[in-house]
Amino acid sequence: MEQRTRAQQLRRDATPAERLLWQHLSARKVAGTRFNRQVPIGPYICDFVARSVRLVIEVDGGQHGWQSDKDATRTHYLEGLGYTVMRFWNHDVTERTGGVVQRIEAVIAALPSPHPSRKREGSK
């Protein structure tokens, strides 16, 4: 299946945890940062991506407990492209949504500015 078609299917068939987190991430509600859902990056489709700050958020269900090697490979690949990867379990998102959002905000605040100010000519 083509990645774009698969990404569309994943958006349509989002888990309850993904839908809940999207309510908080959509429309620049977290730190004024724009997120997209189910974004293809290389061979992977990432749950949520903020390209401006190079942040990937993955919401993992129980299947990820037995595929941690695959997740580590995926994280390593994305970090190699300059992305910071955050992972949350479904139950963390559904039971502690506010805490998850606060952690995302804290990571965004700690990331380098996507638009560092340029040094003015003639200034030291």
- Digit-by-digit pLDDT tens for the chain (124 residues) are 688 898 899 999 999 999 999 999 999 999 999 999 999 999 999 999 999 999 999 999 865 455 788 999 999 999 999 999 999 999 999 999 999 999 999 999 999 876 666 554 554 4
Q: What angle do CA 74, 76, 82 make, to 5 degrees?
A: 110
Distance in angstroms (rounded) separating the CA atoms of residues 77 and 98: 29
CA torsion angle 99 100 103 105 (round to 10) = -100
Look at residues 101, 30, 110 and name the one whose alpha carbon lies nearest to residue 59. 101
For residue 84, the cross-strand partners are 55
pTM of the full structure: 0.86
